[in-house]
Amino acid sequence: MARLPESFVYSANASRVVFGAGSVGRVGEEVDRLRLQRVLVLSTPQQEDFALTVASRLAAKSVGVFSGAAMHTPVNVTEQAMRDIQEKDVDGLVAIGGGSTTGLSKALALRTDLPQIAIPTTYAGSEMTPILGETANGQKKTITSPKVLPEVVIYDVDLTLSLPVALSGTSGINAIAHAVEALYAQDRNPIIDLMAGEAICALAKALPTIKLDQENREARSLALYGAWLAGTCLGAVGMSLHHKLCHTLGGTFDLPHAETHTIMLPHALAYNAPAVPEAIGRLKRVLETDDPSLALYELAGQVGAVRALKDIGMPEEGLGQARALALSNPYWNPRQLDEDRIGRLLHRAYAGLPPLVE
């Protein structure tokens, strides 16, 4: 039986979740429930066709589609979308896609306080959080505000069946990262521990099956369920070294978000492992392994993910800058940040070597 903390605080974020196959068909109901009349649908260029389909379903209550969402939420893209909002007198947002589209919607909500309906098509999880990461001048900064939490999230497994196998794997491990860091968060609590363990278990079981059978509905539903739980964890407690490293690498070197999380997670967990024995114990049980950081490294291999920063565009000469940025702007971490150890961690991640607990 898990040890109950002597005291804890649990704050639940207020959002409505609609989960189930075909639930995207209820977007009109949710627009009506929020009493919206002039909705702007958001997407990336790759998902513009589906965004247009959703906009057509909303008929007169849609003012059109903005399909310029981009990775790491660049401020200049947000400014472009703001012009659409002002010109079209928008009173609500529907965001369709992964973290890029959700991030744009949140950035717009921060500036306008417009209500949001998020329809995730990946396992990113950011739709369940009051957290926004924006990039300007090569720096990614994080903002936490209740204004950016979507009012409604629609999870429809049908929208994930066509998610490419490679992205399914990295997006799913990105979600696992939220749950892993929640297990040793400074403000962790028993409810989040339960959600995190369940999320990791669900995703670790589902992702290898999806690799073998992309349209396996049971595995896709399990992965989406795990992603919802992991996103809830991310929104409820603070993160530490892993997320700091990924924000640094993604924002500064424009590395792909999910792939960066997939590569860095085993190494960040190995770094913190000596300081978080209770979290490691839970991970051993959930992952059925004696070495959780190595198990996550091997899971990345199972789903066919790239495991080296050098293979996703990280310049070797940038490792020193990444280390310096990771040590700047002090933040909480369960283990003291050591410049040499973080340097070794980054070099192992760069080369694609297995994680090392030291």
Indicate the fold that domain 16-160 takes in CATH: Rossmann fold (3.40.50)
Cα 98 from Cα 127, distance rounded (Å) = 9
Parts of the chain with a pLDDT under 70: 1-6
Residue range(s) occupied by CATH 1.20.1090.10 in the chain: 165-351
Predicted local confidence at residue 226, as pLDDT: 97
Residue 3 has what pLDDT? 63
223-276 pLDDT per residue, tens:
999 999 999 999 999 999 999 999 899 989 999 999 999 999 999 999 999 999
For 19-51, write each residue's pLDDT tens digit: 999 999 999 999 999 999 999 999 999 999 999
pLDDT of res. 330: 80
Sheet containing 16-19, strands listed edge to edge, beginning at the edge strand earlier in sequence: 16-19, 152-155, 116-120, 92-97, 39-42, 62-66
pTM higher than 0.75 for the full model?
yes
Q: Is 358 exposed, middle or buried (0-12, 13-18, 19+ CB in 10 A)?
A: exposed
pLDDT for 1: 47
CATH superfamily of 165-351: Dehydroquinate synthase-like - alpha domain (1.20.1090.10)
Q: Which backbone phi and psi does 61 adopt, to 5 degrees? A: -85, 0
Res 5: pLDDT: 65
CA distance 58 to 37: 10
pLDDT, position 216: 96
- Supply the pLDDT for residue 137: 84
237 with 189: CB under 8 angstroms?
A: yes
- Three-state secondary-structure class, residue 249: helix
CATH 3.40.50.1970 residue ranges for the chain: 16-160
